Amino acid sequence: MAPHFGFAQPVPPPPADEVARLIACDPSEAPDAAVPPSLVSLQAHGEQVELARLRYAAALDGRTIFAGDGARSAGAWLAARLGIAAKHASALVHDGRVLRHCAVTEAAWHTGRIGAAKARPLLRARDVHPRLFSEHEPGLIDAIEPLTVAQAVIVINRWKACATDIADHERHAAGCDGDPGGCGPDCGQQPDPADSNRFYLSATVNGRRVGELDLDATNGSLLETALEAWIDARWHDGTFHTDDGLHTAQRRALALVDLCCQSLPRDTNEPCDTEETVATDVPVPTTAEARSETDVPCDTDARDRRPGAVPSAQSRHGERRPSISLLLDAKTLFGLPIDNLDDLLARRCELADGTLIPLPTAQRLLCSASVQQFLTRITSQGTIETIGVTDRLRDATRQQRRAVRLRDGGCLFPGCTVPFDRCQIHHLTPYELDGPTLVNNLATLCSHHHHLVHEGRWRLWRTHDGQLHLVKPDRTYVPVVGHGQAPLPDRPPGTGPPPPAPLPIHHRTPSRPNAPPGDPPHNSEGNDRS
């Protein structure tokens, strides 16, 4: 059994009289050496009390004892009688119900292998795929037991994401594999999380502005990186120093205003006076540019060649700072089926901070990413050990971008008027699936339509004659007429050439040896290339 932060075995709960003594004791009078073990003893007893609460809540609910007091539900009874919030009462009833079906989790909790902070996320994970959870439950307990709570939650969320994809795949017709024509027009489509982004800005006393920002994971990471890159550049050039009296929030405010000032159109002969704009005594140069997901590496700008200038988007230590750090394993990228729990826990499709993102979103980000390949293995403690590393650059060169600009002019979706400078470069055949970074494999899309091609399951491809073709999720053919031209009427399905095989959109279950007649095996052939 893995050690528990210095304890060779899980700490057993103290006897009731010991708990009563600790409760009655005044901690301020206890010797220093007695405080830590007393806390550990109370925590162990509290874990058993919490487990007993769930068991009694399940009995109250399952036997409808609450009805004797005229309560509508067990949650209403708990909220009224225990004086807890309604949502906490509902969670207590839910977890108690699920606990009756999770004997392994209950036993691990009772013996002290895991506590409530790990057990309750496990109980809620069962809702995603009960059958799969029952198969993986012992392995999940073993995987999260030696981890901290934060790491355990990441592992549980990773399992939930894979289980959600498997459950979604099992709900669709066999053989669909993400093809919108196989299950209907909405199969595989995912809403754009950026549609829910909000930025509220209000004027207050003396003209000050107060704002509230709500961004999705990828755009939030992009903004955070831009601000950090700007701040790092100020440390490089000596603007910021340890005794300047500024705290992190002030530096972020300076960064935000300066980045906005850089984006404003202005006469190149009249540089923006950022120092006056931000109204601060600290001089704020305007030489740093944070790299966004729509940018590609190019020659350093002339203003960054000046003596003492700081290259764009570098960390405080001079290293290159990525806009968004994405962890993605090869099996997930190719849509290979999950063989077992160990394979599932080794899958990665998440940001560097552990935020999970859908596979189509990762595929969209990869269109303009610089990829660093790591050869890794999963240790017995569940950590990742890096064995080797290589670099692969997929970015279009400056000459290729100029050629694409002249050819496309802007977003190629019919009727879209977004210019080239506000667009992203899309690989028609993904680079990671052997799609070359050549002009004929590149297309210009705005952020919204780039999302439709990946998460929205629209199909965009180029035939050997150089003509682009576009198909909606319901297979309606949309003529591509070129940027700035009036769109033509849509054509019925099947009018144009057949589209290539779709990219994988979720994890697949392995082939079943005894599948019923007419139910083909869930394989990934045909999805490895697009």
User: In whole angstroms, what is the distance from residue 377 CA to residue 16 CA?
Assistant: 46
* 337 burial via Cβ count (<10 Å: 0-12, 13-18, 19+): middle
With bands split at pLDDT 50, 70 and 90, how would you rate the model's confidence at 274?
very low
d(CA 146, CA 220): 31
- Phi and psi at residue 477, to the nearest 5°: -85, 130
Interatomic CA distance for residues 402 and 101, integer angstroms: 61
Q: What is the pTM of this model?
A: 0.57
Q: Is residue 209 very low, low, confident or very high in pLDDT (cuts 50, 70, 90)?
A: confident
Q: Of 347, 376, 392, which one is at a domain's C-terminal end? A: 392
**Average pLDDT of the segment spanning 464-490:** 87
Contact 500, 530 (CB under 8 A): yes
**277 and 338 inside one domain:** no
**DSSP character at residue 314:** B
Are the beta carbons of 259 and 283 closer than 8 angstroms? no
Same structural domain for residues 276 and 352?
no
Residues 86 and 163 in one domain: yes
Q: Are 129 and 163 contacting, i.e. CB atoms less than 8 angstroms apart?
A: yes
- Residue 184: CB atoms within 10 Å: 13
Q: Are residues 247 and 386 in the same domain?
A: no
Distance CA 260, CA 61 (A): 56
Per the structure, the count of domains in the chain is 3
- Within this chain, do residues 125 and 167 fall inside the same structural domain, yes or no? yes
Q: Is 340's pLDDT higher than 90?
A: no
What is the pLDDT averaged over residues 56-80? 91
Quick check: 12 pLDDT over 70?
A: no
Letter for the amino acid at 294?
T
Domain that holds residue 259: 215-305
Least confident among 90-99, 256-265, 482-491:
256-265
Q: Could you tell me the pLDDT band of residue 368, with boundaries at 50, 70 and 90?
A: low
Q: Which single residue is written with the structure tokens 């795949």?
A: 169
Q: Distance of alpha carbon 345 from its chain centroid, rounded? A: 16
- Other beta carbons within 10 angstroms of residue 147's beta carbon come to 19
What confidence score (pLDDT) does residue 99 get? 94
**pLDDT value of position 348:** 80
- The answer to whether residues 151 and 107 belong to one domain is yes
Boundary-marking domain end, from 236, 270, 305:
305
108 and 164 part of one domain: yes
Percent of the chain with pLDDT over 70: 71
Q: Which of 256, 282, 287, 295 is nearest to 271 (CA)?
A: 287
* Residue 126 lies inside a defined structural domain of this protein: yes
Residues 280-309: tens digit of each pLDDT? 333 332 222 223 333 333 333 333 433 334
- Please tell me the predicted confidence (pLDDT) of residue 134: 92
Q: How many CB atoms lie within 10 A of CB 245?
A: 9
Q: Are residues 301 and 331 in the same domain?
A: no
Handedness of CA 32, 34, 37, 42 (dihedral sign): negative
Q: Which residues of 481-503 are buried (b: 16+ CB within 10 A; e: fewer)?
A: eebeeeeeeeeeeeebeebeebb
The reply to whether 76 and 140 lie within a common domain is: yes
Is residue 505 included in any domain, yes or no? no
297 and 331 belong to one structural domain? no
- Domain assignment present for 440: no
Instruction: Identify the CA nearest to 174 among candidates 528, 508, 521, 526.
Output: 521
- 129 in any annotated domain: yes
Q: Is residue 153 part of a domain?
A: yes
- Residue 501 in contact with residue 430, Cβ under 8 Å? no
Residue 240 and residue 371 in one domain: no
Residue 64 lies in a domain: yes
Would you say residue 412 lies in a domain? no
- 82/96 Cα distance (integer angstroms): 16
Between the ranges 5-19, 35-49, 183-197, where is the mean pLDDT highest? 35-49
Is residue 210 assigned to a domain?
no
Claim to verify: residue 220 and residue 344 sit in the same structural domain: no
